[in-house]
């Protein structure tokens, strides 16, 4: 069996202040070659982490419905008590389960307890993290192979595509596309420069569906991420999937083949975004993007049964084109690559950037004659340019001042400008800067309430983790795999 070399920088943005500079922690990702026993252990660790996540989330939601809070500190204490009563929790390393609860705590703080999703057995890809870097050892076995020692897994062989290049802080094991990977968080002593090598340079980037990215300098970045043969095969697999029964072996085999094709598709897109981001940040001290809400832009137009949507098929095709180009992934790649060059990445209001003439600032819907042609309709202008390049220039100009609705770049409100509620309602210029979330966790555990009154914390722990134990036994046969 051949193992393709894969080593990409992690999109995780981790920065530490050290010695007056910003220390950047880098990611190294390698493909693992597990034995049958190690693969079974990884599956078991992933299942336990999934059940702990779902049970912890269910407990948090129950507490929120009573008007009280639950956070990491009391849940970690309850987890330690539950391990004494339920031996199956001891199969996974304790710090792996603690990291799961920490991830849950941060997700609830960032998005809200009732917006955090359950981890389904069928939809969630197993993943768990070893935070103790001093217990992780990496050795090179030859030109193409190496091994890493992980707690309870022992020595695990992986494809040596590049050296780690620094002190290991943590390791994350995950499964994707039928293969297991390990991502090492490495301190390679790289720091963010105080100033870019070419200060004063700036570029605007317009993301689109015809070309993935077009710059204000006239550069076009685009690539096809899937071949014609793969498209045909994927369509046939979709038809085959529709004829299979849920839970059958043929269905699992078909899904595995589809995931293999989409895995290659995603890898090519990630490589394209990384290379494009490296090119843009190496040549520019400022990269300006539109503040696009990709999740909202790709929402369904189907509507409801009472109020059905219109032009659903066209909207579905547009959504697919937007997601295929990887707009958000390019934004994340630019943010990651900017740490090494000192580039600033700013986002501006996207309103009217594709309709405004970059030469005179006149805005009208008729300026955009076609997808590729912009011709200014102002009587004294007549400027003609590629529509995407013109939009990128407007994006670059908007980084220095607010984007007005109708082309007048003054400080006062234009008499021709639409009301804020009818336009975008957003701030004209939004500058992204590193944010550090603070705030300590509450150290108290409020007593939970039942219909009969208050009961002790120990009773609450027992009931919660008894539910965990029952969920672990039941979820193997449940289609949703929620486990709570």
Residues 6+ apart with CB under 8 A from 330: 207, 212, 213, 273, 276, 277
Paired strand residues for 363: 356
Render 390-423 in DSSP notation, one character per residue. Answer: HHHHHHHHHTTS---TTS--SSSPPTTPPPTTTS
Question: Known catalytic residues?
Answer: 206, 290, 388
User: What is the rounded CA–CA span in Å between residue 349 and residue 402?
Assistant: 8
**E strand map for 34-140:** 127-130, 137-140
Give the CA radius of gyration of the chain: 26
DSSP state of 245: P
Contact 88, 48 (CB under 8 A): yes
What DSSP letter does each residue of 7-38 carry, written as one string? --------EEEETTEEEEEEEEEEEEE--HHH
Residues written for the chain:
484
Are 321 and 225 within 8 A, CB to CB? no
Can you say how many angstroms the Cα of residue 436 is from the centroid of all Cα atoms in its chain?
Answer: 18
Residue 187 · residue 23 · CB < 8 Å = yes
- 388 SS3 class: helix
* Phi (first) and psi of residue 446, to 5 degrees: -70, 145
- Cα separation, 277 vs 265, in Å, equals 18
Residues 220 and 206: their CA atoms lie apart, in Å, by 10
Alpha helix (H) residue ranges in 205-344: 228-242, 249-283, 294-297, 312-325, 327-341
Nearest partner of 296 among 271, 319, 262, 278, judged by Cα: 319
């Amino acid at each position: 069996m051949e193992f393709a070399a894969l080593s990409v920088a992690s999109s995780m943005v981790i920065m530490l202040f050290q010695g007056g500079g910003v220390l950047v922690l880098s990611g190294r990702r390698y493909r693992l070659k597990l034995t049958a026993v190690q693969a079974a252990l990884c599956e078991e660790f992933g299942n336990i982490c999934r059940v702990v996540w779902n049970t912890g989330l269910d407990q948090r939601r129950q507490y929120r419905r009573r008007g009280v809070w639950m956070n990491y500190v009391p849940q970690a204490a309850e987890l330690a008590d539950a391990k004494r009563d339920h031996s199956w929790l001891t199969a996974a390393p304790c710090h792996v389960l603690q990291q799961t609860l920490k991830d849950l705590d941060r997700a609830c703080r960032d998005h809200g307890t009732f917006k955090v999703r359950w981890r389904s057995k069928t939809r969630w890809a197993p993943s768990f993290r070893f935070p103790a870097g001093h217990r992780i050892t990496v050795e090179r076995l030859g030109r193409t192979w190496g091994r890493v020692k992980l707690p309870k897994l022992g020595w695990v062989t992986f494809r040596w595509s590049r050296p780690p290049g620094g002190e290991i802080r943590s390791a994350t094991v995950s499964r994707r596309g039928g293969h297991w990977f390990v991502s090492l968080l490495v301190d390679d002593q790289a720091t963010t420069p105080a100033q870019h090598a070419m200060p004063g340079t700036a570029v605007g980037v317009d993301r689109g569906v015809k070309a993935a990215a077009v710059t204000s300098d006239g550069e076009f970045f685009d690539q096809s991420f899937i071949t014609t043969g793969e498209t045909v095969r994927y369509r046939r697999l979709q038809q085959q999937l529709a004829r299979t029964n849920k839970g059958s072996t043929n269905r699992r085999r078909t899904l595995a083949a589809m995931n293999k094709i989409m895995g290659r598709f995603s890898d090519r897109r990630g490589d394209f975004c990384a290379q494009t981001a490296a090119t843009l940040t190496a040549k520019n001290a400022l990269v300006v993007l539109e503040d696009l809400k990709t999740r909202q832009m790709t929402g369904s137009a189907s509507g409801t049964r009472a109020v059905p949507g219109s032009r659903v098929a066209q909207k579905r095709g547009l959504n697919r084109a937007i997601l295929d180009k990887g707009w958000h992934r390019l934004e994340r790649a630019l943010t990651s690559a900017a740490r090494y060059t000192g580039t600033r990445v700013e986002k501006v209001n996207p309103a009217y950037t594709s309709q405004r003439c970059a030469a005179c600032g006149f805005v009208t819907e008729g300026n955009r004659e076609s997808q590729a042609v912009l011709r200014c309709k102002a009587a004294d202008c007549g400027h003609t340019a590629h529509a995407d390049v013109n939009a990128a220039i407007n994006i670059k100009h908007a980084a220095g001042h607010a984007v007005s609705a109708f082309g007048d770049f003054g400080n006062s409100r234009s008499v021709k400008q639409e009301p804020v509620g009818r336009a975008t309602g957003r701030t004209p210029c939004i500058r992204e800067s590193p944010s550090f979330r603070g705030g300590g966790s509450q150290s108290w555990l409020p007593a939970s309430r039942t219909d009969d009154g208050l009961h002790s914390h120990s009773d609450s722990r027992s009931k919660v983790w008894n539910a965990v134990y029952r969920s672990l036994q039941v979820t193997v046969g449940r289609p949703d795999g929620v486990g709570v």
